[in-house]
Amino acid sequence: MQTVQATLVAAIVTVALIVFPISASAEGNDKFVLTIAIDGAIGPATAGYVKDALAKANERRAEAVILRLNTPGGLVTSMREIIADVLASPVPVIGYVAPSGAHAASAGTYILYATHIAGMAPGTNLGAATPVQMGNPVPGLPGRLPDKDGKDKKDAPQTEPKDAMTAKVTNDAVALIRSLAELRGRNADWAEQAVREAASLSAGAALQAKVIDLIARSPVELLRQVDGRVVEIAGGETRRLATRDATIETIDPGWISQFLSIIITPNVAFILLLVGIYGLIFEFTSPGAVAPGVIGTICLLLGLYALNLLPINYTGLGLMLLGIALLTIEAFNPTVVLGLGGVIAFVFGAVMLFKVEAPGYRLSWMVIGITATMFIGLFLFVLGALRRARTNPARVGRRAMHGLPAEVIDWSDGKGHVFMQGERWQARGAEAFTPGETAEVDSITDLTLVVRRRPKPNAGE
């Protein structure tokens, strides 16, 4: 009995010596921080990527999330989705403009203001948050433009909004960024200047103006500086960050997000739409080709999906479709008016298609020009084919047989048989022919050739 007890005690001690050091070691290394990177224009794919990454951080109980920004801006709708996800996140989000040379302009400034802690790397900048989705950038409302140090310029020009809609959009953007600044305790006055006057700040000036909370050269230094800070997360709860020596993991966007980020751009969506429409047109004109129909259907569906996620002008879309329809009719029934009208309608529709002027979401004039040139080339090709068809002699039918030679096989009483182009024909004529003689086709009546004697060549020929 004593032996059993001693063995049991030894086993318990051994397990304790093995398990507890391991547990302590695991406890010392279980802190980790996830990194989300926004590089380039902000769109629907970016918003989906951030939403999924924040959900994953919550599931894995991450200590914090570093939202690294390097963006010229993007769509307002996607920006608001990201802001809503950051504000609702139970995991603290640390905004970080990096690496050196990066910037958080336009929509990036709003997102940085929404994060629980805002930091920048040296050599970065933020600002220029004037809303431009409704058209050209608005110079600003009455106020003073800040210089590079964030101070007011007394002699700065004063500009008024161009119209009521611009004023509404600008005031709405100001209200949003001021509410974020007040929520996070940051400089709300400069935030308003960034919207109304497209003001920008360097990292040092932003820290001095209390727009950001810190400057860090690397994510490791960033985590050391934020360690021990208390932040307020969703629901009014507070959390003290313990990020020193935390493991940093990067969440890369999945292949679906990367694929969507490619097709959900005006230029790609525009090209997909055209390839899809013309693929279906070629399939309908040449049934059984299969490949144009399959490729056209896939491209058309992808293009329509991209257009559904982008703010478009349906008048422009209608003009584009009208232009394509007119050019298609021109291909089958060549005229000058339909082709010219189709090109004009297509170009105007392409220019009006996207009502977005956000960075990274502008339709390239080069794409419009190349596409319009291709359509004009098709238009000229069709007109050239029409001219040639009208001026050149017929290649098939009765007219094509006129004047062709025919070898006489047999002949009697003004009729017989001739051999022409590898075929045996019935023939008749007013003249008498001998077998083996070559006659000339004058006309054709009811599958019977009317032949005549070939004219003798002139003396000089």
CA distance 336 to 354: 29
Count of beta carbons in the 10 Å neighbourhood of residue 157: 10
Q: What is the pLDDT of residue 378?
A: 66
Q: Which pTM was predicted?
A: 0.65
CA distance 105 to 40: 11
Exposed/middle/buried for residue 325 (C-beta within 10 Å: 0-12, 13-18, 19+): middle
- Cβ pair 91, 62 in contact under 8 A: yes
- Which residue stretches of the chain have pLDDT < 70? 1-29, 132-163, 285, 331-332, 334, 336, 355-361, 378-380, 382-400, 456-461
Does the bond joining 131 to the residue before it have cis omega, within 30 degrees of 0? Answer: no
Q: What is the pLDDT of residue 352?
A: 80
Q: What is the pLDDT of residue 377?
A: 73
Q: What is the pLDDT of residue 148?
A: 40
Ramachandran angles phi, psi of 450, nearest 5°: -100, 115
CA distance 392 to 380: 18
Q: What is the pLDDT of residue 398?
A: 65
Q: What are 168's two structure tokens?
A: 């509404």
Exposed/middle/buried for residue 409 (C-beta within 10 Å: 0-12, 13-18, 19+): middle
Closest listed residue to residue 261, CA positions, set 215, 309, 300, 196: 309
Q: What is the distance, to the nearest Å, from the Cα of residue 370 to the centroid of all Cα atoms in its chain? A: 17
- Cβ pair 95, 274 in contact under 8 A: no
The sheet with strand 125-127 has its strands ordered as 103-105, 125-127, 200-202
CA distance 31 to 212: 25
